[in-house]
Amino acid sequence: MRAFNWPGLNARIRTVVLCLFSAAFIAACMASSAAIAADPLLARYLKKVTPSQLVSGADAFGPIGQETPVAPILKSGETVGWAFLTSDFVPTNGYSGKPIHIVGGIDKDAVITGVRLVKHYEPIVLIGIPDKRIIALTERYAGLDLKAEAASDTLAHELDIISGATVTIMVIDDSIVRAGLKVARALKLGGLAPKARDTGPRRIIDPSITAERSWMELTGDRSVSRLSLDVGQITEAFTRANRPVAAKRAESDDPAETFIDMYVGLASVPTIGLSLLGKAEYANLQKDLKEGEHALLIAGRGHYSFKGSGYVRGGIFDRIQLIQGDINVRFHDRDQRRIGVIAADGAPKMAEIDLFTIPADVGFEPTKPWRLQLLAARATGPVDKAFLTFDVNYTLLDRYTQLIEPAPSSQGSSSAGTVGDDDQSALWKRIWNDRKVDITILTVAIGILTVVFFFQLPITRNERFVYWFRISFLTFTLFWLGWYVNAQLSVVNVFAFTGALTGNFRWDTFLMDPLVFILWASVAVSMIFWGRGAYCGWLCPFGALQELTNRVAKLFKVPQITVPWGIHERLWPLKYMIFLGLFGLSLQSIEVAETYAEVEPFKTAIVLKFMRAWPYVLFAVGLLGIGLFIERFYCRYLCPLGAALAIPARLRTIDWLKRYRDCGSPCARCAKECMVQSIHPEGNINPNECLYCLHCQVLYQHDRKCPVCIKRLEKRKRFERQIGLIPGQEEKPAKLAEPVS
C-alpha cells in the first residue's frame, strides 16, 4: 500500500497542506457536545419551545442579549417576559454527570411564568419512572415567586421529590431557582438588584490560629454546628406537611429515639481541623487540599444516615448539599473520605464520620454564612418515599479569621449573571487542576500506546505479550476510560467542524472537558501516522466492550461467522452512508442530527451504563449480541464515528504495517485471522478498515505460522549445519507449513 499522495505536488507543499488540515481538524474535533454549534445554547433550545409555553399568549422571541444571555418574550411586539436557559447561569449536572437543560420564562415581577425541560441525560426510566413525570414536575414551577426565594434563608416553596429520582429533581429545583434569581438580579426584576461586589475589607481564614479545643468548646460556640432530630419530631414534620402515610411509618415505636444527630464543622480551618482530626490526619488533609479548596467534616448517628447508599450506585450524595447564597455544592464519591474517630477530647462515638472536599471552582467563601441541607426521607410504599428538608446553619466565628484590605484592581465589574472571559479561562484551568490524576492516567496510557506503535516490530515478536497487553489495555479502556470517567467520543463531536469554521472559535469552551480534549488531540495526531485504528482499535470504550465480549464468547466455543468477502466489502460503505447522512442533517439542524445519532450505542452502553429506556438498551444489547458471532460487527459496518475518522485518516504519511510479497499469494493467513477482515484477498491492508490490533505483525514474524519466516529459519539452519554450528545432524529437506489460502 502507498501513502496518500496528491499528483503534481512536491513533498514540501504536501507537508504544509497536511499540517494546515490537521490543525483545522484538531480545532474542530476537540469540542465536546456542549460546543457543537457557534450559536448560543439558548438559541438552540428556544427552537424546542414556543413563546406561549413560557408566557401565556406570547407569540415571538426577541434577540438574545449580549451581556446577559436571555431572550425577550414578545406579545404583539411588547416584551412580557424573558426566556433563559438554566445551564447558562448555574451548574446543572445531574445523576448522569451531564447537564440538565431547562428553558424558563420570567416576568417583570420576578415570577417564573413557564418552564420546559428541553434536554437531559438522566437514566431515571430504568426504575420505572416515566419521563413525563419528570416533565410534569418541572412545569409545575410556573408561578414560583423568586422574590420570596431571595428573601428566605431556606426554601420558600415545597420541594416535591419523586422517589428514585432524588438527585435529578433536586438539580432541577436548584437550577430553576438559582438561575432565575441570577436573571432577575441581572435584569433588576421585581425590585431585585445585582449583588454588589465586595470592595472594602474582607475576612479570610487566619492560618496562625492553631490552638486545639475540646468537643464541648467546639459545640458550645458553634464552631461545630448540630442538627438533632428524634423520631417524634420527624413524624410531626410529616404530619404538618400533609404526608399522613409517612407520618404513620415511624422508624421506631419510641418517638424519643434519635432519628439523626448530625454535626458539621469546617475542617479546613486550622483550629477546627486540628481539634477534630488530630495532627496526623489534619496534616494529610492539608496535603490533599488544593489551592482554593476547603474541607467539611460531617458526623452523624441515629436511625438515619446522612450519606445513604445512593452514592454507591451513582457517585452522588443525594441527601446533603451545601448552600451559600446563589451557589450550591453537591458532593461526589471522589470528594469524600471516611474518618475513623473524632480526635477532640470528649467527643461522642459516631456511626458515620466523613470529610467532604468543597471544590475551588464553586466560589465558596468560608468566612460568609452558609448552610448544609439534609434531605430526610421516609418510605411510604415498596418504592415510594416522602421527603422533607432540614438545614444546619453555619457561620465561621471571627476569632478564626483576619481582616485584610482588598488588592487594587483595574478591572471593571461585569454584569451579574454573566461569565466573563477571565472567569471562563480560570474555570477551565481549575477543572484541569482538579482532574490532574485523571489527566495523568490518560496521558500515560496514550504514551504507552504510542511507544508500542513506534516499536511495534520488536514488541510483536512475543505473541503472548501482545495478547495479554491488548486484553489489559482494552479492559482499562472499557472500565476506566468508558464506565468510570465517561470519555467516550461520538460522531456528534465531529459535527463541530462546520460550527468551528463558520462561528466564533473559543479554546476555553473546548478545554472544559480535559479528557475529551486530550483524546481528540491524540486522535488528530495519530491519524497522521496510523489512521483511525489507534482510537477505534484501542481507545474506544464501546469497541473494547465488543471485543472483550467476543473473546468471552470464543472461550465458550460460540461459533464465529466469517462474512463472505463479496458481501463483506459491500457492507463497508454502510457506515460512510450513515455518517454522511448525519452530517447532512447537522448542516440543517444540530438537534435533529443528535437525535438520529442514537444509531451510536455509546451513550446507552458506556455513558449511562445501560440505565436507559428499554428500546435503547435493546438496540445496544442487540449489537453486542451480533458481535458475539461476528467480531466487531458494529465497528465494521455501522459506526459513523469510525467512518468520520477514516476519511481524514487517508492523509497518513507512513505505512507502518509490514507485508511480504507472498502475502495474499499464495499465503492468506493474515487475511483469515484479521478480526475485522480488513485485509484484501490479494494481501493488501485496507487502512480505512484496519483497527491496528497488530496481530498481522505478530504473524509477520512468526517462525511457525508465516511461510516466509519458516523458509528463512530453515535456510539459516541449513547454513549453520554446513559450517558446523549444528554438528552431528544429517541434512534433511525441510517440511514447510502449508500456506493458508
Q: What digits encode the pLDDT tens for the residues 566-624?
A: 899 899 899 999 999 988 887 777 667 777 888 999 888 887 788 777 888 899 999 99
pLDDT at residue 498, rounded to an integer = 58
pLDDT at residue 34, rounded to an integer = 39
CA distance 439 to 515: 6
Question: Bigger pLDDT: 42 or 224?
Answer: 224
pLDDT at residue 633, rounded to an integer = 94
Structure confidence at residue 713 as a pLDDT band (50, 70, 90): confident
Structure confidence at residue 532 as a pLDDT band (50, 70, 90): confident
* pLDDT over 90 (residue 260): yes
Q: What is the mean pLDDT of residues 490-516?
A: 65
* pLDDT over 80 (residue 522): yes
Q: Which secondary structure element, helix H or strand E, spans residue 670, and what is its range?
A: helix 669-673
Structure confidence at residue 683 as a pLDDT band (50, 70, 90): confident
Structure confidence at residue 59 as a pLDDT band (50, 70, 90): very high
Of all residues in the chain, the percent with pLDDT exceeding 70 is: 80
Which range (2-11, 51-60, 134-143, 232-241) has the least confidence? 2-11
Question: Bigger pLDDT: 273 or 533?
Answer: 273
Q: What is the mean pLDDT of residues 218-226?
A: 94
Which range (75-84, 298-307, 439-448, 588-597) has the least confidence? 588-597
- Cβ atoms of 521 and 30 within 8 Å: the answer is yes
Residue 666 preceded by cis peptide, ω within 30? yes
CA distance 402 to 386: 44
Question: Bigger pLDDT: 547 or 29?
Answer: 547
From 56, 82, 54, 86, select the one nearest 70 (Cα to Cα).
82
pLDDT at residue 15, rounded to an integer = 47
* pLDDT over 60 (residue 646): yes
Q: CB-based contacts of 712: which residues, under 8 Å, 6+ apart?
A: 703
The amino acid sitting at 723 is I
Which position has the grid cell 505473541? 463
pLDDT at residue 604, rounded to an integer = 86
Radius of gyration, alpha carbons of the chain: 31
Q: Which secondary structure element, helix H or strand E, spans residue 373, and what is its range?
A: strand 370-379
Q: How many Cα atoms occupy the beta-carbon half-sphere of 605 within 13 Å? A: 26
* pLDDT over 50 (residue 417): no
For the packed helices 436-454 and 514-530, what is the interaxial angle rounded to 10 degrees? 10
pLDDT at residue 126, rounded to an integer = 42
CA distance 324 to 395: 11
Residues in a beta bridge with 227: 262
pLDDT at residue 427, rounded to an integer = 52
- Cβ atoms of 46 and 56 within 8 Å: the answer is no
For residue 11, what is its C-alpha cell? Answer: 513533498
The SS3 call for residue 463 is helix
For the packed helices 131-139 and 166-187, what is the interaxial angle rounded to 10 degrees? 30
* pLDDT over 50 (residue 694): yes
Q: What is the mean pLDDT of residues 85-105?
A: 81
Q: Output phi, psi for 347, to 5 deg.
A: -70, 135
Q: CB-based contacts of 211: which residues, under 8 Å, 6+ apart?
A: 271
CA distance 62 to 79: 8
From 338, 374, 335, select the one nearest 353 (Cα to Cα).
338
Residues in a beta bridge with 226: 263
pLDDT at residue 16, rounded to an integer = 47
* pLDDT over 80 (residue 431): no
Render pLDDT for 311-362 as a digit per residue (tens, 0 to 9).
666 678 889 999 887 778 888 888 889 999 999 999 999 999 999 999 887 8
* pLDDT over 80 (residue 445): yes
Which position has the grid cell 462561528? 503
Rounded to 10 degrees, the C-alpha dihedral 519/521/522/525 comes to: 160
> Distance between alpha carbon 203 and the CA centroid of its chain, in Å?
36
Domain ranges of the chain: 34-191, 204-400, 431-648
CA distance 438 to 517: 13
Q: How many Cα atoms occupy the beta-carbon half-sphere of 495 within 13 Å? A: 30
* pLDDT over 70 (residue 735): no
Mean pLDDT across the chain? 82
CA distance 479 to 500: 32
Q: CB-based contacts of 536: which residues, under 8 Å, 6+ apart?
A: 543, 635, 639, 641, 642, 645, 691
For residue 514, what is its C-alpha cell? Answer: 480535559
Of all residues in the chain, the percent with pLDDT exceeding 90 is: 39
pLDDT at residue 501, rounded to an integer = 54
* pLDDT over 60 (residue 22): no
The SS3 call for residue 478 is helix
Q: Which secondary structure element, helix H or strand E, spans residue 466, and what is its range?
A: helix 463-476
Which range (184-188, 481-485, 512-516, 725-729) has the least confidence? 725-729
* pLDDT over 70 (residue 732): no
CA quadruple 541, 544, 550, 552: dihedral sign: negative
Which range (148-157, 419-428, 594-603) has the least confidence? 419-428
CA distance 692 to 547: 13
From 545, 500, 263, 491, select the one nearest 394 (Cα to Cα).
263
* pLDDT over 90 (residue 115): yes
pLDDT at residue 467, rounded to an integer = 92
pLDDT at residue 717, rounded to an integer = 75
Residues in a beta bridge with 84: 70, 104
> Distance between alpha carbon 2 and the CA centroid of its chain, in Å?
39
CA distance 515 to 97: 14
- Cβ atoms of 100 and 172 within 8 Å: the answer is yes
CA distance 433 to 427: 10
Question: Bigger pLDDT: 419 or 606?
Answer: 606
Q: Which secondary structure element, helix H or strand E, spans residue 191, and what is its range?
A: none
Structure confidence at residue 200 as a pLDDT band (50, 70, 90): low
Is the pTM above the cut of 0.75? no
From 93, 7, 101, 94, select the one nearest 45 (Cα to Cα).
101
Question: Bigger pLDDT: 581 or 39?
Answer: 581
CA distance 536 to 491: 12
Alpha helix segments (H runs only) across 505-572: 507-510, 514-530, 533-536, 541-555, 565-571
CB count within 10 Å of CB 198 equals 10
Residue 71 to residues 45, 82, 284, Cα–Cα distance (Å) = 12, 5, 49
pLDDT at residue 60, rounded to an integer = 93
pLDDT at residue 9, rounded to an integer = 45
Q: Report the largest interatomic distance among the alpha carbons of the chain, rounded to a whole angstrom.
A: 106
Residues in a beta bridge with 386: 378
Measured CA angle at 170 (ends 169, 173), to 5 deg? 85
From 495, 686, 653, 674, select the one nearest 573 (Cα to Cα).
686
Which range (55-59, 349-353, 597-601, 660-664) has the least confidence? 660-664
Cβ-based burial of 305 (10 A; exposed 0-12, middle 13-18, buried ≥19): middle
First to last CA, the chain: 21
From 290, 286, 287, select the one nearest 268 (Cα to Cα).
286
pLDDT at residue 35, rounded to an integer = 42
Structure confidence at residue 54 as a pLDDT band (50, 70, 90): very high
* pLDDT over 50 (residue 155): yes
